[in-house]
């Protein structure tokens, strides 16, 4: 607090919980976004994961809770670079108690962060901005986290039941019949 001026913590919430989760625990989102600085001033560049994904493949990248190697919570079904960033699709192992807890928290909108664990293979620093451009990374894990270093790295959807598609089809039938 500065000389009698209260400080307010900014909070952002999901507009609505990620509801309609199927029993299988499948979710997807972006674990990294190209060209966006994270809170540590790192910027992942397009193509940074290409060699690592070729070498490791999806099966060798672990799905963890809060970057804790003692807490694997499922497996990645797909990991790929696209024009926006590192798109991921994973499945929580609902036989694991921690994964069931996280699944419930995701459904409620309480947890939605994603964060990458990697080793830097090539980067360049920008002196005037203080940014570090990450050009090649060895990706070894992606975690579901409470607070991601890159605020935009989020779970976008948890596998939905077909309710929305059913509503759209019904509306189309009513409109065009």
**From the CA atom positions of the chain, what is the Rg in Å?**
19
Distance CA 172, CA 177 (A): 8
Instruction: Please identify every residue annotated as catalytic.
Output: 67, 115, 141
Angstrom distances, CA of residue 82 to CA of 29, 143, 155 = 12, 19, 16
CA angle 44, 86, 112 (to 5 degrees): 105
Distance CA 129, CA 123 (A): 15
Beta bridge partners of 78: 89
DSSP 45: P
């Amino acid at each position: 607090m500065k000389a009698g001026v209260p400080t307010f913590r900014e909070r952002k919430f999901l507009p609505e919980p990620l509801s309609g989760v199927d029993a299988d625990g499948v979710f997807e989102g972006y674990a990294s976004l190209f060209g966006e600085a994270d809170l540590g001033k790192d910027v992942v560049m397009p193509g940074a994961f290409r060699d690592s994904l070729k070498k490791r493949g999806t099966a060798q990248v672990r799905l963890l809770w809060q970057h804790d190697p003692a807490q694997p919570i499922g497996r990645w079904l797909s990991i790929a670079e696209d024009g926006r960033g590192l798109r991921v699709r994973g499945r929580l192992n609902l036989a694991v108690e921690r994964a069931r807890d996280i699944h419930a928290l995701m459904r409620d909108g309480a947890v939605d962060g994603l964060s990458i664990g990697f080793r830097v293979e090539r980067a360049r620093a920008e002196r005037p901005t203080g940014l570090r451009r990450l050009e090649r990374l060895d990706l070894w894990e992606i975690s579901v986290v409470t607070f991601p270093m890159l605020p935009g790295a989020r779970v976008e959807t948890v596998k939905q039941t077909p309710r929305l598609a059913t509503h759209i089809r019904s509306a189309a039938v009513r409109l065009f019949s």
